Chain A
Amino acid sequence: SAVISQKPSRDICQRGTSLTIQCQVDSQVTMMFWYRQQPGQSLTLIATANQGSEATYESGFVIDKFPISRPNLTFSTLTVSNMSPEDSSIYLCSVKEDGAMNTEAFFGQGTRLTVV
């Protein structure tokens, strides 16, 4: 199973600033995803991080607010830009291993973001 290292694990940020979250995987994977989990709620997909091309964003999420990089098959970053208190959430990186179509997803430990 893939091992994912995500950092920072938590941060407290001032409104109007930006935070970049890093996700490192111990193996090459095609599919990497970024999720948001707001307090007391389930996971919502922000975007699929594509290697060599722009990320694919879900409805309600835009590149200007959540720019994503995917420079290679083991690494991705998510930036939360111009933060407001509404952005306070847990952000999770997730991967699916290459190979079989229907495989489980593995998650990083998450980044707990508080915007003040």
Chain B
Amino acid sequence: GQNIDQPTEMTATEGAIVQINCTYQTSGFNGLFWYQQHAGEAPTFLSYNVLDGLEEKGRFSSFLSRSKGYSYLLLKELQMKDSASYLCAVGDYGQNFVFGPGTRLSVLP
């Protein structure tokens, strides 16, 4: 079966650091993707992990542990524009994605 879990909502303060966790149990694994989705807009790609470890991209970093079925997205120096939903997605062997429920992040001044 396919199961991806994320916290439903998180709140953080501008300038702070926030970590959004994702755990997964999927029948196939072809990489772990993070997407950002602002309200009323399409998802946009943030990061991708296929090997264990940390991938850093500016203010955003993503970590993967395949043995634990675990990933996190780390956002540093939070800005108001980072208020959005963050979707964890697992690529399966069928070339498509299984998306998690998404985490709605609110950044407060």
User: How many Å from the CB of A37 to the closest CB on chain B?
Assistant: 9
Flag if A48 contacts B96 (CB, 8 Å).
Answer: yes
Interface size class of A (residues with CB under 8 A): 20 to 34
A48 to B95, CA, bound (A): 9
Chain A residues in the interface with B (C-beta under 8 A): 31, 33, 35, 41-45, 48, 92, 96, 101-102, 104-110, 112
- B30 touching A42, Cβ below 8 Å: no
- Does A107 lie within 8 Å of B101, measured CB to CB? no
| A70 nearest CB across to chain B (Å) | 15
B24 contacts across to A, CB distance below 8 A:
none
A42 to B99, CA, bound (A): 7
Q: Give min CB distance, B36 to chain A, whole Å.
A: 11
Q: Is the interface of B mostly helix, strand, loop or mixed?
A: loop
A106 CA / B40 CA spacing, docked (Å): 16
Partner of B99, one of A44, A101, A106, A112: A44
Contact of A45 among B41, B48, B97 (CB under 8 A): B97
A-B contact pairs, 15 of them (CB 8 A): A31-B96, A35-B99, A41-B102, A42-B87, A42-B99, A42-B102, A43-B43, A43-B89, A43-B97, A43-B99, A45-B96, A101-B95, A104-B33, A105-B33, A108-B42
Contact with A along B40-60 (1 / 0, CB 8 A): 111111001010000000000
**Residue-by-residue, is B20-43 near A (CB-CB < 8 Å gives 1, otherwise 0)?**
000000000011010000001111
